[in-house]
Amino acid sequence: MEQGQTWTGDLIRHWRDDPGGTYRTWFLWEERIKNFRSIRRGIQVVIDEIRADRFGNAYRGSSLETVLDSIAEQRQVFKGADHAFMWKPKLRIPDIYENRDNQTAFGRFLDVCLCCNGEGQIVSAIHDLDKVAIKGLGPAAANLLYFLHPTWVPPFNTAIVKGYNALTGANVKLGRWDQYLAMRKGILELNAAHRSLLSNDLGAAAAFLFDVGSGRYPLPERDGSVPLERWRRDLDEVRAESAAASKAAQAAREADHTHTEVQGWLRDLGLALGYGVWVAANDGGRPYGGGRLSDGCLERLPEPLDRSASADAIRLIDVLWVDRAAAAVVAAFEVEHTTSIYSGIVRMLDLALGIEGAAARNFFLVAPDDREADVRAQFARPAFSRVGELDLRYLPYSELRAHREAIARFGSGLKGVLAIARPLRAVPILARMGTA
């Protein structure tokens, strides 16, 4: 056991240092944390709609599809997480769309897990759901629970199961909750044994198993026929190859760089127009322009927002322009380079409804020119149709790039930015999200 833990620790260290591994490309990805609150809010909408019998009988266009789209955009580990919930009419699975009893059981399951305050309650909720035996609804639902309780519930997919079986010699099978719970117990033990290398967030352990299960790393033979020294050399070769040619990691770094650059444009423009500027709390330390992105920016939100119930979400909005005299936000910007449009909308909604009289009145989704169709398509979905209206504008990169210097030099107030932004039809957002 001690020797096994030694080579497992070696493997985890190699994984952490691998620029193309999921530790660096997903787990340390700063946008990852931003999505937790928006996904949690979306799950609350699913629960509310099921309770009120407004969920409908189709996956497409549902509030559940909206949430799972946001999860599936969480890079490697959650790619394809939505597939298990897509309605397969020939197989009649998963049977939560046409069977009302199954649908309400699923809603109760989510509600218990959303509101629980102990991992024992989650395990009990899983057992209760398993007893209902809903056809086609299995441990893939754990991917929803992970975003509610990341320290209690590990994500689930085929590669994670393969990695767990390869690492431990277990024989966990897909599609069964009892098998998932057994794997969860083993993951908790793995995490405890290597806590200094992993994290309280079980996403780290799951991401490690994902890379093992995807075949990224070789494992030593259990009968000892492959010497550990040779195996460690093989690992070094994997890391060296990854460092030399990891297209996925390079693309991720470029995406983050572009996101930071656009935030820098908005920071500089806001300061030039005389506003106080707030940069997302988890982005301020990023290098930009020979300094940090937060240089010259506010260190705290205006007092009314800083004390509001939505303050944690508002602090993650990419850029806020603040009227210093009124201590109020006059414009809010979400930069959606490659991440979910849905998450940006929810953070805007938190600001709009977070506190009466202190919220911004001008909201901008700043995105590449080729994402305009994606922005508009999100607003056209039925899932965004049952709450008060939020007036958003689409601000293309090209317009901001071309006109920001002229606006900074000759503009006043928001006139220049409003002139280059494209109005979006004011569409109601998610049901009850303002009061959830």
In three state form, how does the secondary structure of 133-170 look?
CCCCCCHHHHHHHHCCCCCCCCCCCHHHHHHHHHHHCC
140-185 tens-digit pLDDT: 999 999 999 999 999 999 999 999 999 988 888 888 999 999 999 9
In DSSP terms, 365 is beta-bridged to 334, 394
Residues of the chain with pLDDT below 50 are 1-3, 223-226, 242-246, 248-249, 251-256, 358, 386-388, 426-436
How would you class 272 by CB atoms within 10 Å of its CB: exposed for 0-12, middle for 13-18, buried for 19 or more? middle
DSSP bridge pairs for 332:
320, 363
CA distance 204 to 210: 10
The pair of three-digit structure tokens given for residue 119, joined into one six-digit string: 């991992």
Which DSSP category does 29 fall into?
A: -
Give the integer Cα–Cα distance in Å for 37 and 19. Answer: 27
How far is Cα 118 from Cα 428, in angstroms, rounded to an integer? 35
Residue 53 φ/ψ, nearest 5 degrees:
60, 40
Three-state SS string over 173-199 comes to CCCCHHHHHHHHHHHHHHHHHCCCCCC
> What are the helix (H) ranges across 245-315?
247-272, 303-306, 311-314
pLDDT on residue 170: 87
Q: Give the pLDDT score at 384.
A: 52
pLDDT tens-place string over residues 259-298:
889 999 999 999 999 999 999 988 898 888 889 999 999 9
And the tokens for 110? 């989510």
What confidence score (pLDDT) does residue 2 get? 45
| pLDDT confidence of residue 216 | 86
Q: Which residue has the tokens 């569409």?
A: 427
What local confidence, expressed as pLDDT, does residue 109 receive? 97
Q: Is 356 exposed, middle or buried (0-12, 13-18, 19+ CB in 10 A)?
A: exposed
Distances in Å between the Cα of 34 and the Cα atoms of 55, 163, 234, 283, 315 are 26, 27, 36, 11, 10
Name the nearest CA neighbour of 94 among 175, 184, 179, 178: 175
Q: How far apart are CA 44 and CA 144, in angstroms?
A: 11
| Residues composing the chain | 436
User: Which letter does DSSP use for residue 94 in this model?
Assistant: S
State the pTM of this model: 0.68
